[in-house]
Structure 1
Amino acid sequence: MIYPYGGKSPKLDSSVFVAPGARIIGDVTIGVESTVWFNAVLRGDEGPITVGKRCSIQDNVTAHLYEGFPLVIEDEVTVGHTAILHGCTVRKRCIVGMGSTILDGAEIGEESIIGANTLIPSGKKIPPRSLVVGSPGKVIRELNDKDLELIQLSIDTYVQKGKDYQKELGDK
């Protein structure tokens, strides 16, 4: 469901797939061929949430912010199931693993992978092409070409899956 809040309505490209049960509220913008999966919540009630093109916001993700900490998810980002993104920036072509939490003012560099259940504390800056795991998250190595292929596979898979679901579910 898509809800206005505080005089602001979500702005979604016509190609965006929103699964049943997902909630998109207030000042939220979502780009071309992105997908928002079952029971994800993007709540732009205290400031803007921007989701770029070809992003996958998977099942049960929570995306929120406090005033002064906009939430920015750049192009071609996969956010895994049950992740929490709060007032942070995730640069292009990243994977945020299932169950991870990224807090206010944190920034994830381009082409990085945040491992499952990783905690990125407030204000932490992760360099580009990093593999990060743990609580708190630590960079354990630089990504290699195989890792970048995994990122591309995730992008392509979820763009296609969104198109497939749109055909199957239509306007239900």
Structure 2
Amino acid sequence: MLVRHRGREPRISPAATVAPGAIVSGDVVIEAGARILHGAVLTAEDGRVRIGAETVVLEHAVIRGRHDHPAIVGSHVMIGPHAHVSGATIGDDAFIATGAALFPGAVVGAGAEVRVNAVVQVNTTLEPGAVVPIGWVAVGTPAQLFGPDRHDEIWAVQRTLDFPGTAYGVDRSAGMAEIMRRQSAFYAAHDDDVIIGDEG
């Protein structure tokens, strides 16, 4: 399904594929040879989304563009099922595996691998060719890699990266009520969405 969001429409190469049931919303560009499979969501909330040539976005992946952090995916990239890419930049030839999560301001270098259920935290830079092992967390610039059982070490780096400010535009002291009040108002922009086509 193609959706006009915030007055912007997707632009899809005639040589790309958007499968039935995928949603492409707003300022999204999909280049030739890219394949967007069933249930994937590409949504330019208030920032653009770009999908490079011959990139494959598998089932139920979510790619979200943010105002200060567009989602830019290079060419020849694999985005696995249930992966979540929010306001991140991914270089050419990278591999983002099933269930991986990339947060706003993250940069994944060309040819890097973020393996199953791995995380690249906010404002983290993963060097070209680097590998984040299954379930591990990359945090900081340059990225440090930690197993999931090393929470205190992850937090020691992550606390300086301003997750609340980067992801939600709030100070760390903000409570969930304030964050969700802002998020609810922000996503109300979808009330004005217009379905403009069905690629399926």
If the length of structure 2 is used for normalisation, what is the TM-score?
0.68
C-alpha displacement of 1:139: 8.2
* Aligned-partner SS, 1:76: coil
**Partner of 1:2 in structure 2?**
2
* Aligned-partner SS, 1:24: strand
**Partner of 1:125 in structure 2?**
125
Listed as ranges, the matches of 1:8-87 within 5 Å are 8-87=8-87
What are the Cα deviations for residues 98-120 of structure 1, in whole angstroms up to 9, with x where unaligned?
00000000000101111100011
**Partner of 2:178 in structure 1?**
none
- List alignment gaps of at least 5 residues for structure 2: 139-144, 148-198
Contact 2:95/2:114, CA 8 A, preserved across alignment: yes
What are the Cα deviations for residues 69-124 of structure 1, in whole angstroms up to 9, with x where unaligned?
11100111100000000000000001101000000000001011111000110011
Q: Which amino acid aligns with 2:96?
A: V
* Aligned-partner SS, 1:47: coil
C-alpha displacement of 1:130: 1.1
C-alpha displacement of 1:32: 0.7
Contact 1:130/1:139, CA 8 A, preserved across alignment: no
Contact 1:58/1:79, CA 8 A, preserved across alignment: yes
C-alpha displacement of 1:30: 0.5
C-alpha displacement of 1:21: 0.5
* Aligned-partner SS, 2:137: coil
Residues 1:135 and 2:136 aligned together: yes
Taking the aligned partners of 1:66 and 1:44, their CA distance within structure 2 comes to 7
CA radius of gyration, larger in:
2
Residues 1:110 and 2:126 aligned together: no
C-alpha displacement of 1:27: 0.4
Q: Which amino acid aligns with 1:35?
A: R
Q: Which runs of 4+ in 1 moved over 3 A?
A: none
Paired residues, number? 142
Taking the aligned partners of 2:35 and 2:87, their CA distance within structure 1 comes to 20
Contact 1:62/1:84, CA 8 A, preserved across alignment: yes
Taking the aligned partners of 1:57 and 1:111, their CA distance within structure 2 comes to 16
Taking the aligned partners of 1:114 and 1:96, their CA distance within structure 2 comes to 5
Contact 1:30/1:52, CA 8 A, preserved across alignment: yes
Taking the aligned partners of 1:104 and 1:19, their CA distance within structure 2 comes to 26
Taking the aligned partners of 1:66 and 1:11, their CA distance within structure 2 comes to 18
Contact 1:85/1:103, CA 8 A, preserved across alignment: yes
Taking the aligned partners of 2:70 and 2:20, their CA distance within structure 1 comes to 26
Taking the aligned partners of 2:82 and 2:12, their CA distance within structure 1 comes to 22
- List alignment gaps of at least 5 residues for structure 1: 141-170
Larger strand fraction of residues: 1
Taking the aligned partners of 2:130 and 2:5, their CA distance within structure 1 comes to 36
